[in-house]
Structure 1
Amino acid sequence: MGIEVGGIFGLLLLVANVWAIVKTVQSGASTGAKVFWIVLILLLPLLGLIIWFLAGPKG
């Protein structure tokens, strides 16, 4: 009995999204920007993560 590839991908995506949300909260961005990025990541898990990685708040 192996774990499905989709299950592993889903778990990795969840971990990556949680990491992105934590990094967003820790960033120096304004509260409004943080809320925007967190909502985007939650509503569009894969696409939101990609957009956050490319254009999200840094540091």
Structure 2
Amino acid sequence: MKILFLLFPLLLLLVQGAAGGNRAECRRRGGYCTFGRCRHPTTPVGKCSRFHVCCKSIWG
């Protein structure tokens, strides 16, 4: 039963990562999520998930 107290925070972290909350933060910054790297006229401004980067145009 003591292990449940250790697994519960891990479960919460997994659920939070799956919720996509960082995508909303990226859109609020005026960016978009893309897999891998940002293309030339954009620059990374954050992370949407483990493999997705938040990119924003350098011109506005």
Query: Could you tell me the TM-score, scaled by structure 2's length?
Result: 0.37
> Where is the strand percentage greater, Structure 1 or Structure 2?
2
Q: Which has the higher contact order (CA 8 A, sep 6+)?
A: 1
1 or 2, which has the higher helix percentage? 1
> Which TM-score applies when normalising by structure 1?
0.37
